[in-house]
Amino acid sequence: MGSTSDKIKGTANEAIGKAKQGIGEATGSERLQGEGAVQEVKGKGQKAMGDAKDAAKEAIDRAAAAARRTTE
């Protein structure tokens, strides 16, 4: 999965998780609140994975550019 799709899925899971928590609080459903909290954390993890993939790609691109400069 690419970094952009990780970030998109992460954002969606965060939003859905927050919504579930709000509905759970409004209805008194501890189960729904718990599910929402888990889903929100999952979304944050997905977004972090997307950020890490971006950072790794940028580091590889910089290293490749430096290697090309030294061979020229």
| Residue 55 pLDDT grade (very low, low, confident, very high; cuts 50, 70, 90) | very high
Asked if residue 57 lies in contact with residue 10, where contact means CB atoms within 8 angstroms, the answer is no
pLDDT digits (tens, 9 = 90+) for 25-34: 999 999 999 9
The amino acid sitting at 1 is M
Mean pLDDT (whole number) for 50-63: 95
CA 33 from centroid of its chain's CA atoms: 20
Task: Assign 59 to helix, strand or coil.
Answer: helix
Between CA 47 and CA 57, with CA 53 as vertex, the angle to 5 degrees is 150
